[in-house]
Amino acid sequence: MAERPQRRQLPPLNALRAFEAVARSLSFTKAADQLLVTQSAVSRQVKNLEDILGVALLKRKGTLELTEEGKRLLPVLTDSFDRIADVIAGFRQARSKPPLILSIPPTFTHRMMLPRLAGFQRAHPDLEIRIETPPTNIDFDNAPVDLAIFFGDVKIDDMIVDLLMQEQLTPVCSPAVAAGSADLAALLKKGPLLHIRQGEELHHCWSIFCRQAGLEGIDVKRGLVVETADQAVQLAMNDGGIAVVDARMCAEELASGKLIVPFDRTVVSGRNYFLVSRAEEIEIPRIAAFRAWVLDQFAKDL
């Protein structure tokens, strides 16, 4: 029968760490700062260690000094702790860093996030970033993602929800589609409307806009339905109809003249873009870094 290995008779690790920190600096105050505990806690740990060993490790008259026993123990502890730290550091270096996984609406990704993301990548060159673009808000409780940007009227319990941007709806179209219209109502009555699907709702954007703008007599259930605002912008730019979108989503097309705002009318939709995080993960470095960056990026859009 194999002999059972003898159990090591060692004092508590916290007591050994406390003595090693005090012995190196010969200061209870400096040791407490290093260990992030109170000075009295360090003093108690060292006293407990001396009681367990049955020898004095420190001379406490005036300035601190090591006893002969303390001088023998210090280098053994320092070497042991250094070796443990080296091995753990090797584990961390060898371990591949987990990627930052984001869930972001497709048009917001294309038109608001990707043009800004290079700055975050330059600041975190070793961080792999993966972006998923589902058509609707995900089940964040169970989704294997780190953070998500939600759109709409978001009510989530037990999550951290940060407002990024309030949606403002503005009709946009090509110059050719706008030609000959005396006012916005006339344009909307004659021009084809472009709708963005919102789940099962096909005409929600135009319904919101006409109601908020006080426009009556507009048949908002005619025209073409597409899946994303990006598709609506592309169609509008190519004379396909009138889209109602947040103008910040098509700033380049408006600046180039391929799209225009035919009549200056903008409404606040009541829908917003939110960054959603899990409270228990908020201090994970990759998540904390992205959250701080994205909140700074969109601070002016509130």
Strands 129-132 and 100-103: parallel
Burial degree of 144 (CB within 10 A; 0-12, 13-18, 19+): exposed
DSSP 73-141: HHHHHHHHHHHHHHHHHHHHHHSPPPPEEEE--HHHIIIIIHHHHHHHHHH-TT--EEEE--SS---TT
Instruction: Name the architecture of domain 97-302.
Output: 3-Layer(aba) Sandwich (3.40)
Which sequence spans correspond to the domains of the chain?
13-94, 97-302
Which one of 3.40.50.300, 3.40.50.980, 1.10.10.10, 1.10.3720.10 gives the CATH number of domain 13-94? 1.10.10.10
pLDDT at 287 over 90: yes
- The confidence band for 1, taking pLDDT boundaries of 50, 70 and 90, is very low
CA 44 to chain centre: 42
Per-residue pLDDT reduced to its tens digit, 220-272: 999 999 999 999 999 999 999 999 999 999 999 999 999 999 999 999 999 99
Question: Which residues contact residue 160 at a Cβ distance below 8 angstroms, ignoring those fewer than 6 apart?
Answer: 276, 277, 278, 279, 282
Question: Taking the CB of residue 300, how many other CB atoms lie within 10 A of it?
Answer: 7
> Hey, what amino acid is at 44?
R
Per-residue pLDDT reduced to its tens digit, 177-217: 999 999 999 999 998 999 999 877 889 999 999 999 999 99
Q: What is the CA radius of gyration of the chain?
A: 32
5: left (phi over 0), alpha (psi -120 to 50) or beta: beta
Per-residue pLDDT reduced to its tens digit, 17-39: 999 999 999 999 999 988 888 99
Look at the alpha carbons of 136, 142, 144, 147 in this order and tell me if their dihedral is positive or negative: positive
The DSSP 8-state label assigned to residue 270 in this structure reads E
Query: Which of the pair, 211 or 96, is modelled with greater confidence?
Result: 211
